[in-house]
Structure 1
Amino acid sequence: MSPLPKNLFLDSLRDPIVRDLAWVIGSPGLLDETWTAYAGRVVDDAWCRTQLNTSVQWLAELDNEPRNLHNFIAQRPTRRLGQYFESLIAFWLAHIPNTQIIATNLQVQNAQRTLGEYDFLFRDADGNICHWETAVKFYLQAEPLLEQRAFIGLAVRDRLDIKLDRVFQHQLELGHTPAGRAALPTGVVLKRIQAFIKGYLFYPATQAGKYSIPVTPIPGVSDNHLSGWWIRHPVSSLPQTTPDSYWTILPRLRFLAPVRLDAEASVMGWAEICAALDAHFTVSDESVQVIELQRDRDNSWHEATRGFVMCSMWPIINT
C-alpha cells in the first residue's frame, strides 16, 4: 500500500491536467487483479505501466504544449470527478496507436427502461473489441474491519462492496444480456470485458495526528492501492511527516494526481489551515481534502500525504 503513486514520471510534468492524465494511465489500480472473483476482469497494473512507459515522450510533449488536451477537457465541462476521469480516459485511448474508440456511454435499454450503459467500447491494437467499465473512487475506512464493507464514500450511501458488486454482477454482464447485445453496433463482438477502477482508500487518524495502514490484505483490494488518512473536525493536529510541513486544500477536480506547486504558490501553515477548516465547517458539512506539502530542492512544493477532514458528525450527517 502506498500514499503516493510511484514511477509515474510526474516529477518532470508541471501541467495539472497532464499530470492527471499520467496518473490515470499509470497509477496503481484499486483492485487485486489476482483475486479469484476478479481474475481476468480487471485491467492489470502491468499493462498500465507498459502504456505509461510508451507514453513518456507523448506526455512530455503535452506538458510543453497542453492546448489540445485542455481544449478536449473544456469541451466536456463538468464538476463531477468521475466525468472528468472518463474524459481523460477518452483522450488517452484516442491517442494509443492502432486503437479505435467505438462508443462511449452507450445506453442499454429494454422497452422504455434504461438497464445500464457501456462506459467504453474500443478496438485495441491487437484487434480485440474491449468493454471497459470505469470508476475513480475515494473510500474511507469507517469501521475497524479489513473488509470491503468497512469502506464508505464521502456520501455514505456509496460503499466499496456495493459498488464492486454492481460493477461485476451488473455492469460487466451487460454484454451477455439480450438487451446488451442488441445495443452493440452492428458487427461488434466483445472479446475483452474489464473494470478500470482507480482511486484511494483513507484510514482513520487519531486527534494526535497518527494513523496506520493495515498490513493484512483487504479481500479483493490491491496490496499496492493508494492510501491516505481521514479525521473529523475539529482537529488538534493533522498527520504530517515532518514538523515543518505546509498545507493546501484541493478542489474536487484536482483529487487525482499528486500535487506539485510552484515555489511562489500560496500555501498554509498550521494556524492558517486550522482557520480555513474552522471557517469551512462553520457553514458546511462537506468534506475537505487536505494535502501535506514539503519543499523540493528547487523550492517547489510536492505532496507528502493527503487526507480528508470530515465534519464532526460524519458519517451520521450523510445518512
Structure 2
Amino acid sequence: MTHDTGGGPAAIPESHQVRFHRRWPALRDPHVRALAWLLYAPDLMAADAPCWEGRIATLGAISPEVAGWLHDLQEDPVLHAALQAHLAHNPSARLGRYAEKLLGFYLQQQGWLVAANLQVRNNQGVTRETLGEFDFLVHPPESADDTSLVHWEFATKFYLLEPRSADDANDADAFVGPNLADSLGRKMRKIMQQQLQLSHHPAAAAVLPAPVTWAGALVKGWLFYRQGMQMALPASMGIAGDHCRGFWCDAQGLREQHQPEDRYLILPRLAWLAPAREPVGRGLALDELLGKLEPGFLVDESPVMVARCRIEPGVEAELIETDRGFIVPPGWEQRAASSVRHAVIGV
C-alpha cells in the first residue's frame, strides 16, 4: 500500500507494522495478537504464481464477524479461557506448533475443522513408520459440501536472504533459515512434492474420514533482507509482493542505523509472529541490547530476533514495534554464504 503522491515521487510503502497496529489498536493479549496476525498478514507465497500450479491456499480477507470475534476472544472470559485451555493442551516451545494450535483453534471455532495433525502410518512393514501428517483437514469454507475434504499444509517460516551474487538472489534457496538448516526453496519443494501428495498414498485411506478433493500450502512468515538492501524479487519465484519484511545485520550495522529515540526488544521465538506491543519498562537502549547480545553469541551462534520500537504515549505508555530484524553473530554471514552455495549449485 502506498499513499497517493499526486504524481510526485513514489512514496515509501507502509510497513506491515504500521498496517497491523492501525488495524488492531485494541488487541493487547499476546496470543490473540498472534492469531490476528496469522489471519491478517499477507500470505508469503503468491497464489496466482504459475510455479505453484494453483496449489497455494489462502484464508482471504478478514470479515467483520471474524474481526469482532477476535476482540471477543480477548475480552470475553469464557472464550478467552477456551483459548488458554487449547494452548495449554500438549504445549510446545516450537513456533510452528504454536502457530498450528492458534490456527486450529480458529478453524474449530468457525466450524471448518475436521482433523488436525492427523498422522498417516505405513502398517505393512515391521517398523510401521510414519509417512506424513495432514496439518489440517477442513470442509471447504466456501462450500456446503461436507462429503469431501480440503487438505491445508500449514507453515510459518522466517528466512534471511544471503545471495552470493545477484543471480543467486533470484533463487529461493538463497533465503536461509536463521540456523542454516533450511531454505525457502527446500521447504517449498518438500511441501509441493511430498506433503501435498500425502492423500494419494494408499495408507492414507485408512485414516481419512472422507476423500481429499484438493490440497494446498498455506504459508505465512517474514523475509529478512540485508540492512540497506532494496530489491524487488522476480515474479517467477512465486513470493507475494506484499509479504512481511524485515532486515538483518550485525551489531555494528545496528549501531549505524540507530536513532536516538529507538528502543529495542529481544523477541523470544513464540513472539515472532505479530508486531510487538509491550510495556515501556521492557525496552532496551542500544548499549543495553548489545550488552546482552555479545556474550550470548559466544555460547550460541544463532541470530537473534529484535524488534525496534518507538514509545507510544498514552495513559500507560507502550513500546510499539516499527521494524524488526535478525542480529547475526560474527561469522554467520560466511556460514550462510557457504550454505547457499551448496544449496544453489548442489555442491
What is the TM-score of this pair, normalised by structure 2? 0.81
Of 145, 161, 164, the residue aligned with 2:185 is 161
Q: CA deviation at 1:287?
A: 1.9
1:124 aligns with 2:124: no
- SS at 1:237 equivalent: helix
User: Residues 102 and 123 of structure 1 are in contact (CA less than 8 Å); yes or no, is this contact kept in structure 2?
Assistant: no
In structure 2, the partner of 1:301 is: 319
Name the CA distance, whole Å, in 1 between partners of 2:131 and 2:42. 30
**Aligned residues: percent identity?**
30
In structure 1, the partner of 2:60 is: 48
1:146 aligns with 2:170: yes
- SS at 1:180 equivalent: helix
- SS at 1:162 equivalent: helix
1:217 aligns with 2:234: yes
Name the CA distance, whole Å, in 1 between partners of 2:289 and 2:117. 41
- SS at 1:292 equivalent: strand
User: Residues 2 and 226 of structure 1 are in contact (CA less than 8 Å); yes or no, is this contact kept in structure 2?
Assistant: no
In structure 2, the partner of 1:258 is: 275
Structure 2's unaligned 5+ residue stretches are: 1-12, 340-347
1:194 aligns with 2:208: no
Q: 1:36 to 1:149 in 2, by over 3 A?
A: same
User: Residues 37 and 273 of structure 2 are in contact (CA less than 8 Å); yes or no, is this contact kept in structure 1?
Assistant: yes
Structure 1's unaligned 5+ residue stretches are: 206-210
Of 156, 181, 195, the residue aligned with 1:136 is 156
Count of paired positions: 306
Of 32, 36, 59, the residue aligned with 1:18 is 32
User: Residues 247 and 293 of structure 1 are in contact (CA less than 8 Å); yes or no, is this contact kept in structure 2?
Assistant: yes
1:123-180 CA distance string (max 9 Å, x none): 2342351111011110001114132111011121201111100101110011123233
- SS at 1:140 equivalent: strand
In structure 1, the partner of 2:308 is: 292
Q: Map 1:226-245 onto structure 2 (within 5 A).
A: 226-233=244-251, 235=253, 237=255, 239-240=257-258, 242-245=259-262
- SS at 1:31 equivalent: coil
Name the CA distance, whole Å, in 2 between partners of 1:146 and 1:217. 7
Q: Which structure has more helix as a fraction of its residues?
A: 2
Q: CA deviation at 1:212?
A: 2.9
What is the TM-score of this pair, normalised by structure 1? 0.88
In structure 1, the partner of 2:112 is: 99
Name the CA distance, whole Å, in 1 between partners of 2:122 and 2:213. 22
Q: 1:161 to 1:314 in 2, by over 3 A?
A: same
In structure 1, the partner of 2:8 is: none
1:214-238 CA distance string (max 9 Å, x none): 1243511110111101113455616
User: Residues 132 and 198 of structure 2 are in contact (CA less than 8 Å); yes or no, is this contact kept in structure 1?
Assistant: yes
Q: 1:239 to 1:84 in 2, by over 3 A?
A: farther
Of 284, 292, 305, the residue aligned with 1:268 is 284
In structure 2, the partner of 1:278 is: 294
- Letter aligned with residue 227 of structure 1: R
Name the CA distance, whole Å, in 2 between partners of 1:75 and 1:316. 41
In structure 2, the partner of 1:208 is: none
- Letter aligned with residue 305 of structure 1: D
Name the CA distance, whole Å, in 1 between partners of 2:20 and 2:287. 34
Of 60, 64, 72, the residue aligned with 2:71 is 60
Question: Rg larger in 1 or in 2?
Answer: 2
